[in-house]
Amino acid sequence: MSARAGIVVTGTEVLTGRVQDRNGPFLADQLLDLGVELAHVTICGDRPADIAAQLRFLAGEGVNLIVTSGGLGPTADDMTVATVAEFCGRDLILDTALEERIADILRRLMRARGVASASQDVDFDAVLAANRKQAMVPAGAEILDPVGTAPGVVVPGSPTVVVLPGPPRELQPMWSRAVATAAVQEAIAGRTRYRQETVRMFGLPESGLAETLREGELRIDGFDRLEITTCLRRGELEIVTRYEPDAADVYAELVDLLRSHHPREVFSTDGSLVDDQVAALLAGRTIATAESCTAGMVAARLTDRAGSSAYVAGGVVSYSNQAKIDLLGVDPALLDAHGAVSEPVAEAMAAGALARFGADTAVATTGIAGPGGGSPEKPVGTVCFSVRLADGTSVTRTLLLPGDRSDVRERSTTVAMHLLRGALRPE
């Protein structure tokens, strides 16, 4: 059996849903990449008794490694390290070298905030005393240097326990240091080495994919050696497959099956996102956006990648009819004849964006995101799209998208990206 691990996410704010858990999914993905079987992810509040109960539960499940996140700060409710020390049967000791490192970090932070010296309003000794708690570590633990002010620790044993901070910006870079420690490497020594590949599809319902996978189960020898997970994300189907290296030929048959049955819907077999592909296709070009119902979300998605300033010229959010007329040059007669949510208006918006920004590529969206505003002819979820290139190429579509207002707007950005990909992709 492969090495097994459990994750304990601490924090009352996460438990109650006020803060979304980002650490559990991140750590789960990292462990799977390492070939470590994930047994459980648990979430509990900041109470020591509850944290200890999660640790005992996971140890009782026979995991080799426990990873905790959260509860490493200087305040009274930050109790994870003390609880882990008690669970592991180790005393808490003051690490003076760590205390000095934390002091250096605090001095830098105070200088950055304009507090030049302890002679000012802030008493540095009091600040240091308040943070001394973070330098208390279990005896024999390996210290992971702070990314913020809180260090992490790795406590060897059976199971080995890795204690990481709660903020994802601190936890994520610290994780790689934790994995490199001798204690963690020993704990996961029995892991199975897997490969993980991702296929992405667009325009296929989940039921269609399920039917193809059932066929694969019948036709492909060794299909049961593939661990397949499917997920509908932003209107796309994501098929993640884990397998041992000697099952590579089985996975290749699966990819061939998906391609043969759904040649138009499979758009990525190397894990790349449509966003990555559109960014590559826009190299040497300039793009402008004209958005109504998505209100800048397509432009935001296009500019989410570093270096997008090389090809994104700009965008117009034209929510009102008057804005469409004034900013994009849409003919009022088109609006009167067809309404704002119509293919002729979407095409005029794209043409207006091309002209206004001097771009060679444009994409436009106009629709009814809801919950109100729909009609029998144009129900909520109706969205018109148009992509226009300077050479005269034009692609226009009208779709009825499912979900609430947020779903319709987000799915619209995905449709826009795929229409761009189709228009820009060489045959």
CATH of the domain at 104: 3.40.980.10
Query: Is 303 domain-assigned?
Result: yes
* Domain-ending residue, one of 272, 303, 329: 272
Domain identity same for 368 and 352:
yes
Domain identity same for 165 and 209:
no
Q: How many separate domains does the chain show?
A: 3
Query: Is 193 domain-assigned?
Result: no
Owning domain of residue 235: 203-272
Domain identity same for 165 and 255:
no
No. of helices (H) and no. of strands (E), the chain: 16, 17
Name the one residue in this structure whose structure tokens are 């034209």.
Answer: 318
Query: Is 195 domain-assigned?
Result: no
Query: Is 198 domain-assigned?
Result: no
Type of residue numbered 373: G
Q: What is the DSSP secondary-structure string of 92-139? A: EEE-HHHHHHHHHHHHHHHHHTT---TTSSS-HHHHHHHHGGGGEEET
What is the C-alpha separation between 368 and 374, in angstroms, rounded?
A: 7
Q: Which two tokens stand for residue 362?
A: 């444009």
Domain harbouring 211, CATH code = 3.30.70
* Domain-ending residue, one of 272, 297, 326: 272
What does the pLDDT look like over 406-424, one tens digit per residue?
999 999 999 999 999 999 9
| Cα separation values, 76 from 40, 44, 130, 133, Å | 28, 17, 10, 9
Domain identity same for 176 and 216:
no
Domain identity same for 137 and 55:
yes
| Cα separation values, 38 from 5, 62, 63, 132, 184, Å | 5, 12, 9, 34, 15
Enumerate residue ranges in the chain where pLDDT < 70. 1, 114-131, 427
User: According to the model, what pLDDT value does residue 279 have?
Assistant: 98
Q: For residue 246, how many other CB atoms are within 10 A of its CB?
A: 9
Statement: the pTM of the whole predicted model exceeds 0.85: no
Phi and psi torsions of 74, nearest 5°: -85, -5
What is the C-alpha separation between 281 and 393, in angstroms, rounded?
A: 15
Domain identity same for 47 and 144:
yes
Query: Is 162 domain-assigned?
Result: yes
Query: Is 178 domain-assigned?
Result: yes
Query: Is 316 domain-assigned?
Result: yes
Domain identity same for 231 and 324:
no
Domain identity same for 37 and 50:
yes
Domain identity same for 325 and 408:
yes
Q: What is the DSSP secondary-structure string of 297-346? A: HHHHHHTTSTTGGGTEEEEEE--SHHHHHHHH---HHHHHHH-SSSHHHH
User: According to the model, what pLDDT value does residue 1 have?
Assistant: 58
Q: Which two tokens stand for residue 310?
A: 């090389």
Domain identity same for 143 and 248:
no
* Domain-ending residue, one of 239, 254, 272: 272
Domain identity same for 297 and 261:
no
Domain harbouring 406, CATH code = 3.90.950.20
What does the pLDDT look like over 176-187, one tens digit per residue?
999 999 999 999
Domain identity same for 267 and 283:
no
